[in-house]
Amino acid sequence: MRAQLFRASPLCVACEAQGRVTAATQRDHIIPLAEGGADDASNVQALCEACHEVKSKAEAARGVRRWASGRGN
């Protein structure tokens, strides 16, 4: 699945959206599995390492907020 994604999308979609050209190296779930996203081709995108890291940190922060709100904090 990873090789197929990079053949179809060799460039980072987040960088492309900002006018940059960067090779994609990470297979990313658009909607994270932890947030109900599907583990299929319709929910993946190609990102570079830097964009994937930024997105992953934002997702982790959302997870912490969900956990904290679930405890009544």
- Predicted local distance difference test score (pLDDT) of residue 34: 87
Give the count of beta carbons closer than 10 Å to the beta carbon of residue 47.
25
pLDDT confidence band for 71 (50 / 70 / 90): low
Q: For 17-70, how does the pLDDT look when each residue is reduced to its tens digit (9 = 90+)?
A: 999 999 999 999 999 998 999 999 999 999 999 999 999 999 999 988 888 888
The domain tally of the chain equals 1
pLDDT confidence band for 5 (50 / 70 / 90): very high
Residue range of the domain that includes 32: 2-70
Q: Is residue 9 predicted with pLDDT exceeding 60? A: yes
Cα–Cα distance, 6 to 12 (Å, whole number): 9
Contacts of 34 by beta carbon, 8 Å cutoff, 6+ apart: 59, 63
